[in-house]
Amino acid sequence: MEQIKAKSIVLGITGGIAAYKTAELARLLIKQGLTVQVAMTEAATHFITPLTMQALTGKSVLTSQWGEAGNGMDHINLSRAADAILIAPASADFIAKLAHGLADDLLSTLCLARNCPLLIAPAMNRQMWESAATQRNIKQLEADGVIILGPDSGVQACGEEGLGRMLEAAQLAQAVVTYFQPKILSGVQVLLTAGPTYEAIDAVRGITNRSSGKMGYAIAQAALELGAQVTLVSGPTTLQPPQGAKLVRVTSALEMFDAVKARVTGVDIFIGVAAVADYRAAAPREQKIKKSADNLTLELVPNPDILAYVAALPHPPFCVGFAAESENLRAYAAQKRTAKRLPLLAANLAQEAINADDNELILFDDAGEHLLPRADKLTQARALLNHIVKLKGIKQ
């Protein structure tokens, strides 16, 4: 992430209710190590105050082309110092200005005078977004090389529902980080599994586990940052999938197995992160089993071993396994890697990792053990991907 820490971004805010999200966006960008300079339109100041953004970024917020510097050249100076400009929210009016090269305030002039990439996050009423004029303007900006982030679909401030919501702050921050990462996995196909599986016992009960899916989703994000094409086969989670990943939702281990078999051909890297149930009910009941005073015996049958299946293919992808153990971590992890003939296995203690936002990992490969000290799961995911890149001999 050193390349991120050296980057500077101009965060442009235009008038719209979604401007309230920019406070969190600025905080997340700074947390990633970016230097953030805020520039606002006059309309934006009616939704969030410059003082708020100044307090978060530690920098004076620019709102006028005739700023305190006195030379009237902020539109030139800012664009030369920035590595990128992000407009969030980008209103329909401001998008029209960009498409037609209008420059009647600091922010629009800055965008026209830039020599750095421009990213915009549209935010508006669904009918404004769907209008022929806005769609023409978006197509023109795409043709001009502007990167469009979103919009999302959902309930809007006006009470209507549909496309037009600005992406959430976390999604936009991830998109910016992804943009700046070197695309060393460009063209590489990554297939991974994440989350728990759920094996039905009857109409309302089932066998599952406490996996949150956070590690798998973080790995998907890290792979996208490096330019990979990512397919994420996910069991039931409440997580928001990373922007750009092809998401395949499944419930049971058999569904996950079928999804992987259908997509593994041509894959370069397979990462089995999901906590797949080892067993399922032999005969799930269609109706709820009624409680009685008698003991209840369930017959369980083993589920297919998805990782072992992929690793045993005639021409397997580079396979990475995960082992979550409650004891004897090193012994069990090494045994699992050998039994499944995996080039790389990541192991952690289940009681320390499940539902946690951070983790400690030990990587096992032919060279031995490699400790990844406790850190947040996205940091661990990036370190894991870097290790995979080294093992595969991909030039960085």
Which residues touch 21 (CB under 8 Å, ≥6 apart)?
A: 88, 89, 166, 168, 169
Checking phi first, is residue 241 left (phi over 0); if not, alpha (psi -120 to 50) or beta? beta
**Burial label, 278 (beta-carbon count in 10 A; 0-12, 13-18, 19+):** middle
Q: Which CATH number fits domain 2-180: 3.40.430.10, 3.40.50.1950, 3.40.50.300, 1.10.10.60?
A: 3.40.50.1950
Measure Cα distances from 318 to 81, 178, 195, 271, 391 in Å: 41, 23, 21, 8, 10
- Three-state SS for 307? helix
Helix (H) or strand (E) holding 337: helix 329-340
Active-site residue flag, 111: no
Mean pLDDT, 10 residues at a time, over the chain (396 residues)?
74 94 95 92 95 94 71 65 93 96 91 92 92 94 92 74 86 87 90 96 92 94 93 95 92 98 97 95 92 88 96 96 87 90 90 76 92 89 93 78
Instruction: Out of 111, 116, 158, 319, pick the active-site residue.
Output: 158
Q: How many CB atoms lie within 10 A of CB 42?
A: 13
**Identical fold at 2-180 and 189-392?**
yes
pTM above 0.85, yes or no: no
Q: Give me the residue spans of the domains in the chain.
A: 2-180, 189-392
Q: Which fold has domain 189-392?
A: Rossmann fold (3.40.50)
Establish whether the linkage from the previous residue to 151 is cis, with ω within 30° of 0: yes
pLDDT of residue 81: 80
Strands (E), the chain: 8-13, 35-40, 84-90, 118-122, 147-148, 152-155, 161-165, 189-194, 199-200, 206-207, 229-234, 246-249, 269-272, 279-281, 300-302, 318-325, 344-349, 358-365, 368-376
Residue-wise over 170-208: b if at least 16 C-beta within 10 A, else e? Answer: ebbbbbbbbbbbeebbeebbbbbbbbbbbbbbeeeebbb
What's CA 327's distance to the chain center, in Å?
Answer: 31
> How many whole angstroms separate alpha carbon 36 and alpha carbon 30?
7
